Chains A and B, each alone.
Chain A
Amino acid sequence: MSDNTNHHIVPYRTYGLILLLLLVLTGTSVAVTQIELTRWATVVALLLASTKSAFVLAIFMHLKFDQNIYKIMATLIILLVAVVIVLTFLDYGFR
């Protein structure tokens, strides 16, 4: 169990590109919400935020290069939070 040197070196360039992408997405979500999208505003903003966090998780946090077990765990936990919100809204949505 000593794979202590098993590391993937990510080039600086990749990180720079990801930052650029994240900044563009941030700009988009600010721009989009300045226009009145009414009830779609929330959906669009959250979709953009989810996309951003996907990039942070995959590249900055190295999930893309890690063993699968980390991806499985992270996915299940996001799913867990989603189910908890859905169940809570079975109450609040139907009161």
Chain B
Amino acid sequence: MSSNNTNHTGYKSYLEEDGGRKGIFKWILSTDHKRIGLLYLYAMMGWFIVGVVLGLLMKLELIAPGKTIMGPQAYNATFTVHGVIMIFLIVIPGLPAVFGNFMLPIQIGAKDVAFPRLNLFSWYIYVLGGILVIISLFGNGPPDTGWTFYAPYSFKTGTNMLPAALGAFVLGFSSILTGLNFIVTIHRMRAPGMTWFKMPLFPWSLYGTAWIQLLATPVIGITLLMVAGERILGIGFFDPAKGGDPLLYQHLFWIYSHPAVYIMILPAMGAISEIIPTFSKKTIFGYKAIVISTLAIAFVGYFVWGHHMYTSGMSGAALWAFSLLTFIVAIPSAIKVFNWISTMHQGSISTEIPFLWAASFIFIFMIGGLTGLVLGSLAVDVHLHDTAFVVAHFHFIVFGGVGFAFFGAMHYWFPKIFGRMFDKSWAKTGWITFSIGFVTLYGPMFYLGIMGMPRRYFDYLDEFHGPNIISTMGALVMIAGFLIILINLIKSARHGEKTTEMNPWGGTNLEWQIPTPPPLENFDEIPVIDKATYKYD
């Protein structure tokens, strides 16, 4: 490594290096990958609060049978907008946009991404997509199709569905460009000596993700364009009255949207693979197995989309093929879980906050993953399809998986990003409250689903009342936990105890070998890599 002194003095960190710009222009005109990462973070934080409020409104509606605070139309709009925001504006950009942007160049020993201006441009497109989503809320009322925009309802509904679909299209563009940038960065800009199998696991997960972003997103892009053509011109692609096949819409939609789940979860797994060895003080177990399983998930994950359509009327041949492939794609995920557990085994574990998030991630992710296999079985799915069980499974994976990993990554890299340490006792309180709330919120929904409570209705039968009350209580607890975490992080980022320690957690990768917070171009001198990653002596 180029330097081993712990205290760099006389350097300017990226936060001080403002390019001579003033105020907000320091941020929105900067092509520094670190500032762009934070731009995504702030935008996503704003959206996340909106999404959480919408989720809370739904839980409040479901606290009792019948109309509590909103009627069916408002409820349909709420779950649609909640879904569109949470999926397209938060978990899809998710970890790659924030931590990928910030950490990828540093972890591979580069000064920036391959195309810094394109990177900033992607953020602007992201903002434009967000504006389109906001526009969809006005006019004829917010869309009520669900975030899946299923045909034929999506071109029959009188609500303002078109801007929302165009918003998703534009956000897809942003996602594609980020993926493109990351692939080129990883191919071309690894530090000398960093062979493919010396690259840390977070960049590896970003690499797998980027390929999915690149190859799956255009399919939903064209599908949404076709729906727009349907709405504007009445072409007839998905209109059964004109010979179109609504099932083809479902095929095309899920060809993107299942791999999209891996756009969300692969980087989460990557972050967990960083955190676990650092706090176990042990080399990651089965580095190559994790790399290969990352690529296997990215590849096989492209071919399982049909499991969303078991009850739609597909052919028998398609049913068994998609079910088989769904079971196959679970294998590499399970391999990763075994690797993480084996890494912890006989390590000297320190239960710092990031580790707590990572450990609870494994727990939550396993529940989400195993219930996914329940849904992947043909016969069982007939019973569970479109019930609260699906909602619970989905949130265990997408909110539990991505969310827990995101908070873990946030706390893990927080001192490096802001040059300050968060308040650890508040962080712990937040974690416990959030985790208890999370399980209480979504746990009962598994039961409700098995008992037959359908999803996406503002109302339910009296017999489902009890578990719904527990679930809403869980939502309140979880949101309390979220607020504790959020306020603690915001306060700590501004007034927390300053730190210039390069390596507060004892990590092994390059981000821990440069000053805190990093200088503008990360490295004075591009490092030369001569040993494998995650080595503890």
Contact = CB atoms under 8 A, between A and B. Distances in A.
Real binding pair: yes
B188 A87 contact: no
Contact of B315 (A77, A80, A84, A95): A95
A80 B255 CA distance: 12
Nearest to B321: A90
Interface string A1-22: 1000000000000000000000
A92 interface: yes
A80 to B, nearest CB: 7
Given A84-B302, A87-B303, A87-B306, A1 B315 contact: no
Contact of A80 (B187, B189, B302, B306): B302
Contacts of A83: 302-303
B200 to A, nearest CB: 20
Interface in B255-295: 255
Nearest to A91: B318
A95 B313 CA distance: 9
B235 interface: no
Main secondary structure on A side of the interface with B: helix
Given A87-B318, A91-B247, 17 more contacts: A1-B188, A80-B215, A80-B302, A83-B302, A84-B255, A84-B303, A87-B303, A87-B306, A87-B321, A87-B322, A88-B251, A90-B315, A91-B306, A91-B314, A91-B318, A93-B317, A94-B318
9 contacts: A83-B302, A87-B303, A90-B315, A90-B317, A91-B306, A93-B315, A93-B317, A94-B317, A94-B318
Interface string A66-81: 0001000000010010
User: What range describes how many residues of A lie at the interface?
Assistant: 10 to 19
B23 interface: no
Interface of A: 1, 69, 77, 80, 83-84, 87-88, 90-95
A77 B306 contact: no
Contacts of A87: 303, 306, 318, 321-322
Contacts of B322: 87
B243 interface: no
A77 B215 contact: yes
Contacts of B189: 1
B10 interface: no
Q: Which of A1, A87, A91, A94 has the most CB of B within 10 A?
A: A91
A91 B247 CA distance: 10
A87 B215 CA distance: 17
Contact of A91 (B187, B188, B251): B251
Interface in B186-214: 187-189
Nearest to A81: B215
Interface in B403-461: none
A1 B191 CA distance: 10
Nearest to A95: B315
What are the nearest 7 A-B pairs in CB distance? A94-B315, A91-B318, A94-B317, A90-B318, A91-B314, A95-B315, A90-B317
Contact of B316 (A80, A88, A92, A94): A94
Contacts of A92: 315
A61 B33 CA distance: 32
Interface in B288-346: 302-303, 306, 314-318, 321-322
Nearest to A87: B303
A84 B302 CA distance: 8
A44 B10 CA distance: 71
Contacts of B316: 94
Nearest to A69: B187
